[in-house]
Amino acid sequence: MYLDEAILDDTARIDTGDAAALLPHIASAALQVRQSAVLAQEARVARLGADGRPRAVLVAGVGGSSLAAGILAAVAGPAGPVPVIGHHAHGLPGWVGVSDVVLAVSASGTSTETCSVVEEAHRRGARIGVVAPADTPLAHLAALAGASFVPLVGQRPARAMLWSLAVPLLVAAQALGVVRLGDDAVEAAAARLEEVATRCRSSSESFVNPAKTLALELAGALPVIWGTSVVTAVAAEHAAAQFATNAKYPVLVGALPHPGHHQVALFDGPFGAGLGVADSGGGDELENFFRDRAEEEKSTRLRLILLRDPDAERAEVTRQAEVAVAVAAERGVGVTELRTEGSGPLERLASLIGLFDFTAVYLALVLGLDPAQVPAARDLGR
């Protein structure tokens, strides 16, 4: 695998090359947070709470839009008063009815899966909120259903619109009594995203740019990303989606305690400790001494990316994380530990999501790929 590491410190190449079409949209995350909060208030999504707290909240979305459900679930937390359930298929589960709220999000407004959800929710009498571009099939269905509708503004790729999709859901959930989220928490998340964008900007050199540093650590490795809390588990899922879409790069996603319990076995496999055994050839010491280490260095190894959340980790999970680091080191698996920054769950989530958004673009550049192009995804959507 050829890696063009020099491009990360060539600002001119970055700003005039393939990433030029995507980085400004990623850097607009703070603007999206503030803007979408205002749009949600103007759309009067608070009226969804007029009939009181629902039995459950179902969030419908597919592709990049589906990650908005994870953000709402993470902010609500495991102690939330009602379940927040992501739904990524056609139609609705049989249990959804008049006691529930259905929130539908779509960056395109044309998703057949999400449109079918809104149609079915209307027939069943559920309360409905929709986030989508105006003048789209989903916007039309929202009007027919009398749903609260928040329009998306600005021309951005779907994978750079997460905050525009997610923040209106948080405003609605606040009105429903599902989350406690004040204006100060929203502004703290926006400020954190601004701070990440400043540190990860294209003109910031690799040795001080956390996104470029992480991209170089991941390039050529097989990343295993584990969260240690609800917040970091959602960040791990988002990272995998961004690496797949922008860098076309595979990532294994997990969490502690589950599914880390079985994924840890990977450390003993052909991309972990087993790689060293295979490379040694099983011969005598003299033969192993003269083996071709140049080929060995080119082998793909696992790399554990451990997302730590000190404010929310259970003591048992903290101990497991420490053991996982030791187990990985014993087997020659590299480890990168990243910690959330900030106080509330939304700000802590923003600190990691912002980092991964930039990292995915820089990883694509190192691999010689255009992060703005997703031809296979278009083909699948035909």
pLDDT (tens digit per residue) in 220-247: 999 999 999 999 999 999 999 999 999 9
- Do both 15 and 32 map to the same domain? no
Interval 265-275 mean pLDDT: 90
- Do both 185 and 226 map to the same domain? no
- Do both 83 and 185 map to the same domain? yes
- Do both 39 and 160 map to the same domain? yes
Name the pTM for this structure.
Answer: 0.91
Check pLDDT > 90 for residue 361: yes
pLDDT, mean over the chain:
91
Residue 283 pLDDT level (bands cut at 50, 70, 90): very low
Residue 99 lies in a domain: yes
Domain final residue, candidates 189, 214, 231:
189
Interval 99-118 mean pLDDT: 96
Residue 110 belongs to domain spanning: 28-189
H helix runs in the chain, sequence order: 11-16, 23-26, 29-42, 67-76, 112-124, 137-145, 162-176, 183-199, 210-218, 230-246, 260-263, 273-280, 285-289, 293-297, 315-330, 345-366, 375-380
- Do both 118 and 169 map to the same domain? yes
Check pLDDT > 80 for residue 380: no
- Do both 14 and 64 map to the same domain? no
Supply 302's token pair: 């696992």
* pLDDT value of position 20: 87
Residue 198 lies in a domain: no
- Do both 39 and 176 map to the same domain? yes
Q: What does the CA dihedral 360, 164, 109, 82 come to, rounded to 10 degrees?
A: 100
